[in-house]
Amino acid sequence: MKVIFTLLLTLLIVQCEKNLGSKIESLLQTQLGHTLLSTAQLALQTNTPLDRIIDTLQDLEDKYQKDQKEEDQENREFQQKCDEDLKNLNDEIDGIKRQKVKIQGAIDQLKASIESKKKILNDKNALRKNLRKGMNEVDVIREYQEKIYEEKRGEVGKIIKTLEEVKLVYASKLRTNFMELQTEKTKVQPEVFAEVTKHLVSVGKFKSLGKPFQNIIDFMIQMSKNGNNIGVLRNIIDLSESLIRQIDEIWQVERKAEEERVRWYSEYQKFMDTDFKIYDKEIGELEAQLQSLKDRLSENQKKMDDLNLRLESKEYNKDDRREECQQAAYDYTQKRTSRSNDRNIVSEVVGLLNVNMRDLKETLAQKMAAGDRI
């Protein structure tokens, strides 16, 4: 039983030596551990009190811990500031997006109003165009009526003048031969009737007389060609006077009809002028409203462009800030891990000095004896 205990104790000692060697080897693999062990070895070789070495290392360990607390606090404050900045940027972005929705609604409404006003304006212009077309057609008709009326008036004037001249010529012949003319059958010189025929033929060329009057003129022409006495001459004069009266009566009716057409055309023009003024006023107002809507649309589109630029800038700032905060968090984590590892190394060295001082000195001495550089 005593032998077994001895063997177990031997194995435990060997195992502890192996663990110590493994710890020292692991510490030597790190720059800080190598530096601390080298410094500790040098201090031991110069008979520096162990307590001073341990106090120095513990001070270093405490400094690591203090620095880590300060950095933890700084990181918390920095990340809180990041959260605030990102929240503010998100709020600003949301606000810009809400403004965009509002402006886009106004733009859509303005576009719809513009299209509606354009349709109304086009309809008004079409109605005005048709009104002008109808008025032009009436103007053409009126010009034609006036032309026909003036032509008829000229012809009628000439007819009446010619018939008056016929009366005067024949009446003059009658007065000249009055003393000689005793009966209706008294002969009249042929040249007189020739002159009568000439005038009547000229009257017969006018188409304004109409068929009934044309027949009378033709009859008078035949009478003139075949006439040879006073009785025929007087009949022609009587017919001429009758024609003049009838033509004048008919022409008075025609003149009154023309006056009525003139009156109607004048009223029509007044009525159309009123309509044109109404259309022109409505069209002018519509054009002004349309221009106002276009100006407002342009202003809102400019606002939308500005909002898009602001949104792009804010989103860029947000992404940049987030990346900055994430990088800071990564750097903090890496630094904290590194400091924690360094503190653990210092803590292990302190533990070795406190617990395994003798073994540590022997192990380091052995390594130096073996030619290992510490």
Q: How buried is residue 312: exposed, middle or buried, by Cβ count under 10 Å (0-12/13-18/19+)? A: exposed
- 286: Cβ contacts below 8 Å, ≥ 6 apart: 117, 120, 121, 124
How many angstroms separate the CA atoms of 234 and 174, rounded? 9
pLDDT for 132: 92
Residue 358 has pLDDT above 90, yes or no: no
Backbone angles phi, psi at 229, to 5 degrees: -145, 175
Q: How buried is residue 200: exposed, middle or buried, by Cβ count under 10 Å (0-12/13-18/19+)? A: buried
- 298: Cβ contacts below 8 Å, ≥ 6 apart: none
Q: What percent of the chain has pLDDT over 70?
A: 60
Residue 228 has pLDDT above 70, yes or no: no
Best CA proximity match to 251, nearest among 144, 153, 147, 146: 153
CB 313 within 8 A of CB 91: no
Best CA proximity match to 166, nearest among 194, 189, 190, 200: 200
Best CA proximity match to 303, nearest among 117, 105, 118: 105
Q: How many CB atoms lie within 10 A of CB 176?
A: 11
pLDDT for 161: 75
Rg (Cα) of the chain, in Å, rounded? 66
Structure tokens at 259: 């006056």
Instruction: List, for residues 202-220, the tens digit of each pLDDT value.
Output: 544 445 555 555 666 666 6
pLDDT for 282: 94
Instruction: List, for residues 240-273, the tens digit of each pLDDT value.
Output: 788 778 778 878 888 898 999 999 999 999 999 9
CB 220 within 8 A of CB 244: no
How many angstroms separate the CA atoms of 362 and 368, rounded? 10
Prediction pTM value: 0.57
How many angstroms separate the CA atoms of 255 and 241, rounded? 21
How many angstroms separate the CA atoms of 32 and 346, rounded? 8
Q: How buried is residue 59: exposed, middle or buried, by Cβ count under 10 Å (0-12/13-18/19+)? A: exposed
Structure tokens at 216: 């009378």
Instruction: List, for residues 34-83, the tens digit of each pLDDT value.
Output: 666 666 666 666 666 666 777 777 777 788 788 889 999 999 999 999 99
CB 188 within 8 A of CB 227: yes
How many angstroms separate the CA atoms of 289 and 365, rounded? 102
- 114: Cβ contacts below 8 Å, ≥ 6 apart: 290, 293, 294, 297
